[in-house]
Amino acid sequence: MPSDNLREIQAFLAIAQERSFTRAAAKLGVSQSALSHTLRALESRLGLRLLTRTTRSVSPTEAGERLIARVAPRFEAIREDLVSFKELRHKPAGTVRINASEFAITTILWPKLSELQPKYPDVKIELSIDPGVGEVAVEGFDAGVRFGDQIARGMTAVRISSDVRMAVGLNAKVVPSSRSARAMSSGALQAMLTIAKCKCVGGGVKKWAL
């Protein structure tokens, strides 16, 4: 519907509600002459007289009453919807979709979200397990959790945890290659050989080429 039509209907409803051009003009913040011109344009376009005007009062005609019954509830519903949207500025609501690895969800996100959720009950969180290679925005997510070296170009990153320490076990038969051994300091080489003595699942002989 063109904006002029909406203004005409709004003007008509204000006059019918206030039963006065003066009060309706003040309510809408326009002059009485502009309001009268808007109403005449609506009546001319519909080919119907919507208001009966006397020197003392203004009242809807039968056609005007029918128009009020049809459009007034819709305008009121729109007004209420706009008010509810304004409340979002003070009360967060909606759905936030986050993808992350299973490790990040269980160790980082879930402990924080479990504390946050009771404070914002109107916010729905959807978590999706992702190994960390997908594009966050392209796949329709609002945010993603990645290790520092997995952040795609162009993404805005914010640190949400301290560095994560992980224990790594190597098969006892894994040994560094001669080239790697020459490049290592004695301390690093000794640490490598110590780790290589750890038992872990798997078998076979592999050289760790750096």
Q: pLDDT tens per residue, the chain (210 residues)?
A: 455 788 899 999 999 999 999 999 999 999 999 999 999 999 999 999 999 988 778 999 999 999 999 999 988 888 888 877 776 677 777 888 888 888 888 888 888 888 888 888 888 888 888 765 566 766 788 888 877 666 666 677 778 777 766 655 555 455 555 555 555 556 555 665 666 565 554 444 444 433
CB contact set of 45 (below 8 Å; sequence gap of 6+): 8
| Residue 158 included in any domain | no
| Residue 155 included in any domain | no
| Residue 117 included in any domain | yes
Q: Could you say which of 57, 87, 117 is where a domain stops?
A: 87
Task: Find the domain containing 110 and state its range.
Answer: 94-150
108/39 same-domain check:
no
How big, in percent rounded to 5, are the helix, strand and coil portions of the chain?
Answer: 50, 15, 40
- The pTM of this model reads 0.43
CATH value at residue 32: 1.10.10.10
Domain count for the chain, please give it. Answer: 3
61/98 same-domain check:
no
Q: Could you say which of 87, 103, 125 is where a domain stops?
A: 87
Q: Could you say which of 87, 103, 120 is where a domain stops?
A: 87
Tell me what pLDDT residue 57 has: 83
| Residue 166 included in any domain | no
Instruction: Report residue 177 CA to chain centroid gap.
Output: 51
Tell me what pLDDT residue 110 has: 85
Tell me what pLDDT residue 192 has: 59
Tell me what pLDDT residue 185 has: 54
Tell me what pLDDT residue 150 has: 66
| Residue 35 included in any domain | yes
The full DSSP string for 97-145 is: EEEE-HHHIIIIIHHHHHHHGGG-TTEEEEEEE--S-S-TTTTT-SEEE
| Residue 156 included in any domain | no
32/105 same-domain check:
no
Tell me what pLDDT residue 13 has: 92
58/73 same-domain check:
yes
